[in-house]
Structure 1
Amino acid sequence: MASDLSARDIERANFAFSIYDFDGNGNVDAFYIGDILRGLNLNPTLAVIEKVGGTKKKNEKKIKVEEFLPIFGQVKKDKDVGCYEDFLECMKLYDKAEDGKMLLAELSHILLSLGERLSDKEVEEIIRDCCEPEDEDGFVPYVPFLKKMVAGPDPPAEETPAEEAQ
């Protein structure tokens, strides 16, 4: 599986792995596999992380970079993840008026009950950070929400007119 990785991928994986090698001994706690994969711009589910050897508790298992590279290759190759267009089609199912809006209560329910379950606190945080304010009827536009969600926690900065002038 590691042979499927380019030299650049291996270099990136080694770097990401080294960040979580807190003792500098070439081992990383398997608890951090998901964090390393996310640092490599992948979005594994908790089930995938567990399947590839990640642990739910610290200090249960250690892995070496040679063991991590095939995991990275496997998760990178896995195409069972959605993209913006997939999510947009799903949201359209809740857009009864076909006006680009859905009930905030439905969005909250989706986040709480479908896929990997989120806590009430996590849903509140996502809605606060990614949703525009709901209108008087309880609707929110879902396209801006999806764009913010797909962009991730650190979206690329947009240049302001002042920066462009420099």
Structure 2
Amino acid sequence: MAAPADEKESAESLLAEVQKKITDAFDIFDHDSNKTVDVREVGTIIRSLGCCPTEGELHDLLADMEEEEPTGYIRFDQFMPTMRDVLMDRKFKPAPEDQILKAFEVLDSEKKGHLAVEEITKYMTEEGEPFTQEELEEMLSAAVDPDKGFILYKDYASMMAVDET
């Protein structure tokens, strides 16, 4: 069993590591180096930190970070505490590979092992929380096997999974 001092040191080390990750990710998008980022880029920053919130959850996070009178920018001192809590509580974790694979298998009613571009386009734009055209194009560029012209979802599921380190 670790001594209480070791546990405290370990927790402080983890917190410092999380805060550095957040700062580094934020700084990439702080183009003017003024400790602010465009509100439209916050979702990308959050996802780069390994979090996968829905659009509704992202909207809630933004509401926590925004000024009373929205400016179109998020300040670092508003971003840090919210994201520190999110990362320390391990919120919005990505789905594991087996869960992603099961979701694709549900869509593949014929059990072919692949999905046509038309099928996935329909599911991604008409069901659940619809993808934007840009999100769809980004997904298809990564998911579609260039030789076969369809999505070999077992390969794509492993590509989508995020390793917990």
Q: TM-score, normalised by structure 2?
A: 0.64
What residue is the counterpart of 1:85 in the other structure?
Answer: 98
Q: TM-score, normalised by structure 1?
A: 0.64
Q: How far did residue 92 of structure 1 move? A: 1.4
User: Unaligned stretches of 5+ in structure 2?
Assistant: 1-11
Listed as ranges, the matches of 1:9-158 within 5 Å are 9-53=18-62, 59-65=71-77, 67-76=78-87, 77-79=90-92, 81-120=94-133, 122-132=135-145, 140-150=151-161
Q: How far did residue 113 of structure 1 move? A: 2.1
Once residues 132 and 25 of structure 2 are traced to their aligned partners in structure 1, the CA distance between those partners, rounded to angstroms, is 28
What residue is the counterpart of 2:9 in the other structure?
Answer: none
Contact 2:144–2:151 under 8 Å retained in 1: yes
Amino acid at match of 1:7: A
Q: Summarize the Cα distance change of 1:115–1:75 in structure 2 as closer, same or farther, 3 Å threshold.
A: farther
Over the matched positions of the two proteins, sequence identity in percent amounts to 23
SS at match of 1:44: coil
Contact 2:36–2:76 under 8 Å retained in 1: yes
Once residues 60 and 141 of structure 2 are traced to their aligned partners in structure 1, the CA distance between those partners, rounded to angstroms, is 32
Amino acid at match of 2:104: M
Q: Summarize the Cα distance change of 1:24–1:141 in structure 2 as closer, same or farther, 3 Å threshold.
A: closer
Deviating beyond 6 angstroms after TM superposition, the runs of 4 or more aligned structure 1 residues are: none
Once residues 36 and 120 of structure 1 are traced to their aligned partners in structure 2, the CA distance between those partners, rounded to angstroms, is 20
Amino acid at match of 1:33: V
Once residues 29 and 121 of structure 1 are traced to their aligned partners in structure 2, the CA distance between those partners, rounded to angstroms, is 18
User: Unaligned stretches of 5+ in structure 1?
Assistant: 152-166
Once residues 35 and 120 of structure 1 are traced to their aligned partners in structure 2, the CA distance between those partners, rounded to angstroms, is 16
Q: How far did residue 41 of structure 1 move? A: 2.6
Q: Summarize the Cα distance change of 1:22–1:120 in structure 2 as closer, same or farther, 3 Å threshold.
A: closer
What residue is the counterpart of 1:155 in the other structure?
Answer: none
Higher relative contact order (CA 8 A, sep 6+): 2
Give the superposed CA RMSD: 3.3
The aligned length equals: 143
Amino acid at match of 2:119: E
Once residues 147 and 121 of structure 2 are traced to their aligned partners in structure 1, the CA distance between those partners, rounded to angstroms, is 12
Contact 1:21–1:28 under 8 Å retained in 2: yes
> Could you tell which deviates more after superposition, 83-92 or 117-126?
117-126
Q: How far did residue 125 of structure 1 move? A: 4.7
Q: How far did residue 126 of structure 1 move? A: 2.8
